[in-house]
């Protein structure tokens, strides 16, 4: 049962439930980009993020990746284990695009094999700066071993998700993960995995099936999110 609102982020509300260790994530119909500078209400978006993320987390759960996900409740809500979010954005890149092209001058679509893992400090006031492993341990109350564990999990998740999306004609270009610490101190995958947090390109056309259509104003967000949900629905 949903109790008090604990927190709201840009894309979801977090509610306490009657069980101390369980939370409800309620996805908002809100699209934001550029650290909230671009913002729009898009009715139906929350449902897509919730349903897509639940499918991906269920798949990862079946593959024994520890995460906060418990179950889907309805179209816009899911039940998760309570964690303390570690303020890191863990980005995995298979192909160069987005900020790494702007920041470091890699040519668009350069392949990274092995995949690149980057850490960003999750802090809106500082605009989520990129940091190294030592900064991460100092800023996020984690040990060197825990940062290694987080990076290892991120790469393992990448290895699982590449073929998962590929089977439905979707190239996993890059994505962002967040991790949390549960009540027993264990680090688990948290937050969401959706077209808000991943770059998905159609394998045939390389067209974007993710939030880049909103960031760049190049397409209709709802129709590409619907496309991702439809394709994931084809997986047995």
Query: Can you give the binding site for ligand C5P, defined by CB under 6 A?
Result: 89, 91, 98-100, 128, 174-176, 197-199, 211
| Closer to ligand C5P by Cβ: residue 40 or 144 | 40
| Closer to ligand C5P by Cβ: residue 187 or 193 | 193
- Classify the phi-psi angles of 217: left when phi > 0, otherwise alpha if psi is within -120 to 50, otherwise beta: left
Shortest CB 23 distance to ligand C5P, Å: 20
Distance, in Å, from the CA atom of 203 to the CA atom of 182, rounded to the nearest integer, reads: 37
Strand-pairing partners, residue 134, are none
Is 192:179 a contact under the CB 8 Å cutoff?
no
| Closer to ligand C5P by Cβ: residue 74 or 129 | 129
Shortest CB 166 distance to ligand C5P, Å: 17
Shortest CB 130 distance to ligand C5P, Å: 8
Tally of residues, the chain: 236
| Closer to ligand C5P by Cβ: residue 147 or 154 | 154
Nearest residue to ligand C5P on Cβ basis:
98
Shortest CB 115 distance to ligand C5P, Å: 12
| Closer to ligand C5P by Cβ: residue 158 or 197 | 197
Shortest CB 56 distance to ligand C5P, Å: 13
| Closer to ligand C5P by Cβ: residue 55 or 211 | 211
Shortest CB 82 distance to ligand C5P, Å: 22
């Amino acid at each position: 049962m949903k109790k008090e609102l604990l927190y709201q982020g840009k894309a979801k509300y977090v509610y306490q439930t009657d069980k101390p260790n369980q939370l409800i994530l309620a996805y908002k119909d809100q699209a934001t980009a550029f650290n909230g500078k671009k913002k729009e209400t898009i009715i139906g978006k929350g449902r897509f993020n919730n349903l897509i993320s639940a499918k991906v987390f269920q798949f990862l759960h079946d593959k024994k990746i520890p995460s906060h996900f418990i179950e889907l409740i309805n179209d816009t809500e899911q039940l998760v284990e309570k964690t303390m979010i570690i303020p890191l954005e863990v980005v995995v890149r298979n192909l160069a695009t987005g900020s790494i092209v702007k920041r470091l001058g890699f040519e668009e679509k350069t392949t990274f094999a092995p995949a690149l893992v980057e850490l960003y400090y999750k802090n809106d006031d500082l605009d989520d700066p990129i940091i190294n492993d030592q900064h991460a341990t100092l800023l996020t109350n984690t040990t060197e071993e825990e940062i290694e564990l987080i990076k290892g999990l991120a790469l393992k998740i990448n290895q699982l998700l590449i073929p998962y999306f590929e089977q439905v004609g979707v190239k996993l270009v890059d994505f962002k993960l967040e991790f949390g610490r549960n009540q027993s101190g264990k680090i688990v995958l948290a937050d969401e995995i959706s077209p808000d947090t991943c770059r998905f390109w159609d394998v045939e056309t390389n067209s974007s099936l993710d939030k880049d259509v909103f960031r760049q104003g190049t397409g209709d967000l709802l129709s590409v999110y619907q496309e991702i949900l439809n394709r994931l629905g084809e997986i047995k």
